[in-house]
Amino acid sequence: MNYVRTFMLMAGLTALFGVVGYLLGGAGGMLIALAIAAATNLFSYWNSDRLALAAHNAQEVDATTAPELYGMVRDLAARANMPMPRVYLIQEDQPNAFATGRNPENAAVAATTGILRTLSYEELAGVMAHELAHIKNHDTLTMTITATMAGAISSLTTFGMFFGSRDNRPNMIVQILISVLAPMAAMVIQMAISRSREYEADRLGGEIAGNPVWLADALAKIAGAVEHIPNETAEAKPATAHMFIINPLSGRGMDSLFSTHPDTGNRIAALMEQARAMGVGRTPQGGFVGQASQSPWNSPHQRGPWG
C-alpha cells in the first residue's frame, strides 16, 4: 500500500510541475518546466550522494579506520542480500544517520559520531538496518527526485513571475497565488512521500536486524537527544533534513502536512507491534538474532572505541 501511495504522490508532484509551467507560460511554459525537471533530476541522479555527503563533511571509513561500524554494516548488508554500501562518519554530536545513493550498487550510509556514543550495539544495528532498508527500497533515489522537483517548482514560480512572457502570464493576483501555493503544495507532497517511506524502512529494517525492538529503542534515544543537541550544519542546510532517521531540526515531528518524519511515538508503536508478531523482545547483548555474539562491548550501555 505504501508503494502505491508513493507512486500516486510522485505522479501528483509531476502533474503539479506541469500545471505550474502551463499557468505561468502556456503550453510552451509547460514544456520548459518539464525540461527543467528532467535536467535537474538527471543531475541529482548522478550527484546527489556526493552533494549530501559533502554538505555534512562526511568522511569515508573502512575496516581499518572504523572496524566495528564497518563490520556491522557489512554483516547487515549480507543479511539483507544486498551490496555493501560505502560507510561514512560525520563529526557531529547530535545522534543521527542517513543513507544516500542512486541505487543499491552506488549507495552510502552515514552515521554521526554522536550516534555511536549514544546507542548500544543492538540499537545501532537497528538504525543501520533502517538505512539499508531505504537503500534496498530505492527510497534514496525517490526522495532525491521529490526534493529536487519540490525545489524546482519553487524556483520555477519565481522565474515565471519575473521572466515569463507578458502575453502568457496570468494576472498579478493569480501569479502571486501560484508563487505561494505551488511551492507549498509541492512541499506537502514531498513530506507525505517521506513519511510513508520512513514507516516502510522501519518495518524492513526491523526484519533485517532481526529484532524491531532495537530500532524502537534507538528512535526513542535519538529523538530525546535531538531535542537538546543542535545540528548546526543541518540547520544551515534544512533541505537535507528529510534524509535523516530523525528530523535533525527539531525532533518533534508529527504526522502533519509539513512534517518530514512520522511521529516518533507512532513509529515506535508500529515497531513494537512488529516485534510481537515476530515473537521477539529485548534480547541479551550479543550480535544479531540467530548469530553468535559479535558485540565489541561488554554491556549494552558501554561506548565503543569512538567515544
The binding site for Zn(2+) consists of 130, 134, 198
Strands 107-112 and 59-61: unpaired
Which long-range contacts does 63-69 make (Cβ < 8 Å, 24+ apart)? 66/306, 68/296, 68/304, 68/305, 68/306, 69/111, 69/116, 69/124, 69/306
For residue 96, which of 237, 213, 272, 249 has the smallest C-alpha distance? 249
Strand order in the sheet with 107-112: 59-61, 86-90, 107-112, 97-101
d(CA 74, CA 90): 19
131 included as an active-site residue:
yes
105 within 8 A of 82, measured Cβ to Cβ: no
Rounded distance between C-alpha atoms, residue 60 and residue 72, angstroms: 15
- CA 132/CA 140 separation, integer angstroms: 10
CB atoms within 10 A of CB 67: 14
CA distance 43 to 117: 36
Per the residue annotation, which of 68, 92, 122, 131 is the catalytic one? 131
Residues tagged active-site: 131
